[in-house]
Amino acid sequence: MYIPLFSTTRKRHERRGGGGGGGEGVGEGVVGGGEGEDGGESSGGSSGGKSSGGSGPSTGEIEPYPVPLKSSSVSGKSSASAYGYGGGKSITIPSGQLFEGRSAGGGTRNQIFGSKSYGSGYPGITGRGVAGRGFPFWFWPIVWGSTAAETAPYLNGSEYGDSFNTSRFGGPLMEATFISNNSTPNTAFHVLSDNSTITSLIDTVSGHCSSHLSSSSSKTPFPFNTSSPSAPQPGQVVQYYRASSVALTLDGYNNSATFSSNQNATDTPLPSNIDMTLLNCLNQTIALSMPLVDGSPVLFAVPSVPTLMLLSLVISSISSFI
């Protein structure tokens, strides 16, 4: 059954600096289940009610706000919208521009979820890899290093340049680290995407998840260098979003399915001893707030609990542990 992710009710967005309790909230994250559009395992979901110590995004009153694009190589787009709905008419990239002839635009927020598989999160498209694809959300997919691509050819995204490519929609690839303040277990996540997106997500995550974050978590973006031995690896991805242009990774996780020749291989379950509260908060906040290019100015209310439960992502793979 299809339920729209957002209504067009006008609400007011309040950016929070502290992320503490009080006020209306999406509430505590809970385990969801189901499959993403590409058939991969997925996670997510939330329960309603009051927010608890910044455990999830504020449902308060939300209104999209502009996020400047560090680069806008396609069709002169100059900004996206945090909490925006996306949508609009898909275009064909005109002659003389990068990736001419491919489609761009049209993707909406209720289509952003992929799975743990590179190439997921493309509305209506299944299978691994990103070669030759269009840009349903305008943003380009992230890229991995040459070593990973040699091991699993579908991880080759070289047609989009390296991670430092300044022509990338939203600017070069950056990352942010979000570390749990719960020492048992010690849990560290990374979010990878373009400069504009990471800058925006640091703001929203810091606001909504602050009570679960260590002070050593990122305050500003830093370059994602695929050649660095300490850089996040494709086997550590726990969720792709927005046509694989955003990835959430977990230190210490190694998904054997990433490098399997069988694209239907079963994903390795996430460890049972990680900070699930922080993971839920990150997943919800990224899903609700990541910048999208709007086709028209649509204002929306935060989705209801049943609607959020439809956004079932990677956490289903660990439901047996909690």
3-class state of residue 68 by DSSP: strand
Report, as an integer, the average pLDDT of 146-162.
96
Share of the chain above pLDDT 70, in %: 71
* Residue 10, pLDDT above cutoff 80: no
Specify the DSSP element, H or E, that contains 287. helix 276-289
Query: Which pLDDT tens digit goes with each residue over 161-181?
Result: 999 999 999 999 999 999 999
Query: Which pLDDT tens digit goes with each residue over 79-105?
Result: 899 999 999 999 999 998 899 999 999
* Residue 320, pLDDT above cutoff 50: no
Task: Give me the residues paired with residue 179 across strands.
Answer: 188
Cα 150 to the chain's mean position, in Å?
25
**Measured between alpha carbons, how far is 279 from 289 in angstroms, rounded to an integer?**
15
Residue spans of the domains in the chain: they are 65-289
In this prediction, residue 160 carries a pLDDT of: 97
Cβ-Cβ contacts under 8 Å for 288 (sequence gap 6 or more): 26, 57, 62, 83, 109, 302, 303
Using only the alpha carbons of the chain, give its radius of gyration. 18
What is 45-66 written as a DSSP string?
A: ----SB--TT-S---S----EE
HSE-CB at 296 with a 13 A cutoff on CA atoms is 4
DSSP 8: -
pTM beyond 0.85? no
Length of the chain: 322
pLDDT grade for 58, boundaries at 50, 70 and 90: very low
Report, as an integer, the average pLDDT of 111-140.
97
pLDDT grade for 294, boundaries at 50, 70 and 90: confident
